[in-house]
Structure 1
Amino acid sequence: MLKADNTLEFNIMESNRNIQCTVSECKYHSKDDFCTLSHIKIDKNNNSTVSKSEYTKCASFEYKYQS
């Protein structure tokens, strides 16, 4: 984006060291296994067959590659 003083400003998504993530298919996944969002939404997983450790999920997830 061109700013008022004619300099360029880039919005590079940086790793958020407070949100670790291993879902490489996510649009917001960084190369070093962190999320690039400043905050995420957490939602309940309504599937009754999931274990307790899978009871919640990231509701901010978006696929990196869309067809």
Structure 2
Amino acid sequence: MDKNESIGCSINNCKFHAQAENYCTLDQIMVGTHEENPTEKECTDCDSFEYKAK
């Protein structure tokens, strides 16, 4: 999969990480939250994340 230069990512153990560079390979991602009323960036999540088994 090719990197998407519009989506930066530093999560190396994600299935969609570009590996050679800090980008995502998905065309788009879904951003979600685990909070009822998010007010800080720590309250948000990449809901497109999938763990890449080694």
Question: TM-score normalised by the shorter chain: which range applies?
Answer: 0.7 to 0.9
Number of residue pairs aligned between Structure 1 and Structure 2: 51
For 2:47, the aligned partner's letter is A
Report % sequence identity.
38
Q: CA RMSD in A?
A: 2.0
Considering only CA atoms, is the larger Rg found in Structure 1 or Structure 2? 1
Unaligned runs of 5+ in 1: 1-12
For 1:53, the aligned partner's letter is K
* Segments ≥4 residues shifted beyond 4 Å: none
> How far does the alpha carbon of each residue in 1:4-29 deviate from its partner, in whole angstroms, 9 at most, with x for none?
xxxxxxxxx00000000010010000
Q: Does the alignment pair 1:64 with 2:49?
A: no
Q: Comparing both chains, which one has the higher relative contact order based on Cα–Cα distances under 8 Å and sequence gaps of 6 or more?
A: 2
TM-score by length of 2: 0.82
Answer yes or no: is the 8 Å Cα contact 1:25–1:64 preserved in 2. yes
Q: Which of the two has greater strand per residue?
A: 2
Shift of 1:42: 0.8
User: 1:41 matched to which residue of 2?
Assistant: 30
> How far does the alpha carbon of each residue in 1:25-44 deviate from its partner, in whole angstroms, 9 at most, with x for none?
10000120000000011111
Unaligned runs of 5+ in 2: none
